[in-house]
Amino acid sequence: DAVVHWFKWDLRTQDNSALYLASQKASEAKVPLIGLYIISPEDFEAHLTAPVRVDFALRTLRVLKKDLEALDIPLWVETVEKRKEIPGRVVELMEGWGASHLYANMEYEVDELRREARMVRMLAERGMSMEVLHDTCVVPPGRLQTGTGKQYSVYTPWFRAWVRHVHEHKELLELAGLPLRNHPSAREKFAEIFECEVPEAPENKKISEEEKKRFKALWPAGEHEAMKRLSKFCDEAIGKYGQNRNIPANPGTSNLSVHFASGTLSTRTAVRMARDRNNTKKLDGGNEGIQVWISEVAWRDFYKHVLVHWPYICMNKPFKPEYSNIEWSYDLKQFNAWTNGRTGFPIVDAAMRQLNHMGWMHNRCRMIVASFLSKDLLLDWRMGEKYFMEHLVDGDFASNNCGWGFAASVGVDPQPYFRIFNPLLQSEKFDPEGEYIRKWVPELKGVSGKAIHDPYGRGAGAIASKAGYPKPIVEHKAARETTLAAYKRGIDSG
């Protein structure tokens, strides 16, 4: 007999709810525990998983395999081309190993919930069991309700309820620790699994040698790296997070999103460490930077709660149905200018180039480019949402979809539609010296002073043009009017 833990985007040994429970089950039954990870190229395609994200997961699996082995737990990694064949293959593997219990952490997207429901049935028919646990949020979805018993659709009151709930339920920030050491028979019985190797990226997510090197340097993988980053951030930067978090030229944010998205770090561990640094020892009050950071991590929970309650957002529909009739543009020339960082708006171009180079973009810039795509270019926000997923190392459906919904005003608790970012003012406010722009748009290195924000409009056109930097592809004021009219028409006809 054996117990299996199925890893998905929970690639860590520490404080992993289902893994820990699986190890307890195995220990009680005096049988070995086996870790399992399935690579499905078709699944990556269906989720638009960025190659940089796949690369991060595979590098992390190599770290995870070693960490598990230190506890005598083997990890089996296998490629299953078609996603619909995954449940059947998991069952087959379990039968081959003589395992009767499967553990996994829950993923809340519609396809994943359906898959898990199917697996629970399949296993039950064969006399086996599957346990799926809440793990990725600090507060499991479904726990928080408004006074009238509804799901919150506005962040601020939801956050107050979240804080209250965590204070009242101390167990939510108790950490599971490492899984128990495996049964001594595991080494001999499953020698083949210990020997299996983590494969290279599948054909559809291959990257060049240059990208491999770049991503490895930018995104060191695995949970130890995550802990190191978290401690360093809490030691050195969290106190000033409130002041620095909106300045893209400053590394004032934690840079932990890749770890939350891959599950190399649990949000419990992060929130707990931040809370413990606060002199109030609470999630609220005390140090402002700590409070603000915890409230940002909570946004991730909020969006997952929204996804669970309104799963139709997984189906390409806007959260706000009354915004379904806006006539979007599908102008590919403009879209390509946006993706390539050649819109002629320096802050937008810097941000898109950062994304293309790193697989990551600063939050302020995500809002600026998302607003620019939907409200200056009036392009369908879903084109931007898709492009982000295809390129982000931290691509997470709920955060990305809701982030786009916020910026395009079609999502949950959004920016009102008539509030349209002026890219020039955003640039002046959040990159006052133009440091961020100069870093990512080398054509503008020679432009000094305020002209950096708008070279053609502020007397640096000759330098920009000589360096091959494009002129603005739209005029903001006119675009704004067109957009306001289009949103209004869309809403009125809805």
Binder among 404, 417, 421, 430 for ligand FAD (CB under 6 A): 404
Nearest-CB residue for ligand FAD: 403
Nearest to 257 by CA among 292, 315, 296: 296
Total residue count of the chain as it appears in this document: 494
What are 182's two structure tokens?
Answer: 């495996």
CB of 233 to ligand FAD, least distance (A): 7
Which parts of 278-307 interact with ligand FAD (CB under 6 A)? Answer: 296-297, 299-300, 303
Q: Which one-letter DSSP state was computed for residue 365?
A: H
Is 454 among the annotated ligand-binding positions? no
Binder among 17, 255, 264, 427 for ligand FAD (CB under 6 A): 255
254 binds ligand FAD (CB under 6 A): yes
Name residue 57's amino acid. A
CA distance 50 to 45: 9
**Under a CB-based contact definition with an 8 Å cutoff, are residues 476 and 423 in contact?**
yes
What are 169's two structure tokens?
Answer: 């339920």
257 binds ligand FAD (CB under 6 A): yes
Kindly give the interhelix angle for 267-277 and 288-309, rounded to the nearest 10 degrees: 150
395 binds ligand FAD (CB under 6 A): yes
As a dihedral over the C-alpha atoms of residue 387, residue 374, residue 409, residue 301, rounded to 10 degrees, the angle is 20
What are 330's two structure tokens?
Answer: 């599908």
For this structure, is 6 an active site residue? no
Is 298 among the annotated ligand-binding positions? yes
CB of 488 to ligand FAD, least distance (A): 23
Binder among 8, 53, 245, 272 for ligand FAD (CB under 6 A): 245
Phi-psi region of 477 (alpha: psi -120 to 50; beta: other; left: phi over 0): alpha
What are 30's two structure tokens?
Answer: 């005096």
54 binds ligand FAD (CB under 6 A): no
253 binds ligand FAD (CB under 6 A): yes
Which parts of 105-134 interact with ligand FAD (CB under 6 A)? Answer: none
Q: Which is nearer to ligand FAD, 245 or 353 (CB)?
A: 245
Q: Tell me the backbone φ, ψ of residue 335, rounded to 5 degrees.
A: -60, -45
Q: Which is nearer to ligand FAD, 139 or 370 (CB)?
A: 370
Task: Work out the burial of residue 493: count CB atoms within 10 Å of its CB; fewer than 13 is exposed, 13-18 middle, 19 or more buried.
Answer: exposed
Catalytic residue among 244, 250, 287, 363: 363
Q: Which is nearer to ligand FAD, 366 or 375 (CB)?
A: 366
Is 301 among the annotated ligand-binding positions? yes
Is 434 among the annotated ligand-binding positions? no
Q: Which is nearer to ligand FAD, 254 or 264 (CB)?
A: 254
Catalytic residue among 78, 211, 287, 328: 328
Is 264 among the annotated ligand-binding positions? no
Name residue 157's amino acid. P
Which parts of 350-379 interact with ligand FAD (CB under 6 A)? Answer: 363, 366-367, 370
CA distance 311 to 292: 28
CB of 410 to ligand FAD, least distance (A): 12
Query: DSSP labels for 200-250?
Result: PPPGGG---HHHHHHHHHHS--SHHHHHHHHHHHHHHTGGGHHHHTT-TTS
Query: DSSP labels for 119-131?
Result: HHHHHHHTT-EEE
CB of 183 to ligand FAD, least distance (A): 36
CB of 377 to ligand FAD, least distance (A): 15
Catalytic residue among 381, 385, 440, 443: 381
Binder among 11, 93, 407, 451 for ligand FAD (CB under 6 A): 407
Binder among 15, 107, 112, 396 for ligand FAD (CB under 6 A): 396
Query: Strand, coil or helix: what is 430?
Result: helix
Is 255 among the annotated ligand-binding positions? yes
CA distance 381 to 335: 11
For this structure, is 9 an active site residue? no
334 binds ligand FAD (CB under 6 A): no
Binding residues for ligand FAD (CB under 6 A)? 245, 253-257, 260-261, 296-297, 299-300, 303, 363, 366-367, 370, 388, 392, 394-396, 399-400, 403-404, 407
Which residues have a catalytic role annotated? 296, 299, 328, 363, 381, 404
